[in-house]
Amino acid sequence: MKISAKAEYACLAILALARPRSDDSPVRIREIAEANGIPERYLVQILLQLKGAGLVHSTRGASGGYRLARPSSQISLGEVLIAIDGPGEPPRESHEPAAQVLAAVWEHIRLAERAVLDQTSIADLCQRTAPHEWFI
């Protein structure tokens, strides 16, 4: 599975927006860019794509920024990747039996990848990155 740099940056931005904040203010582009090493101009374009896909909302003004459009538990990693890179390439057509057998395997792998991405919510990922407090 190949993930473009743009798609990875989009995932990092979504995770930044999903993290709990002490106040309910929108997250500024600069804050996301600096925390994740993403060029600001590039991040603006990524966030516009995510906004167009209905995954984030923007607020204008001095106290503006971005927020998730839905709870992080209702946004899948698959949705983020499709918003940035599209649904992927269709399988190649062939009438050669060996190529058809291979194509079936590739499709099976693609469907398994898609299932994992669609079943992984942004909330799941945030929970995995949050520091845990251990009680003994």
Instruction: Assess if residue 23 is contained within a domain.
Output: yes
Token pair belonging to 136: 């003994």
- Residue range 72-89: average pLDDT? 92
| Number of neighbouring beta carbons within 10 Å of residue 38 | 21
Task: Please give the tally of structural domains in the chain.
Answer: 1
Residue 87 pLDDT more than 70? Answer: yes
Q: What is the CATH number of the domain that holds 22?
A: 1.10.10.10
Q: What are phi and psi of 96, to 5 degrees?
A: -75, 125
Query: N- to C-terminal Cα distance for the chain?
Result: 40
Range of the domain at 73: 5-88+121-129
Residue 91 pLDDT more than 80? Answer: no
Residue 95 pLDDT more than 80? Answer: yes
**Range from 25-34, 80-89, 123-132 carrying the lowest mean pLDDT:** 123-132
What pLDDT does 133 receive?
61
Instruction: Assess if residue 100 is contained within a domain.
Output: no
On the CB side of 66, CA atoms within 13 Å amount to 28
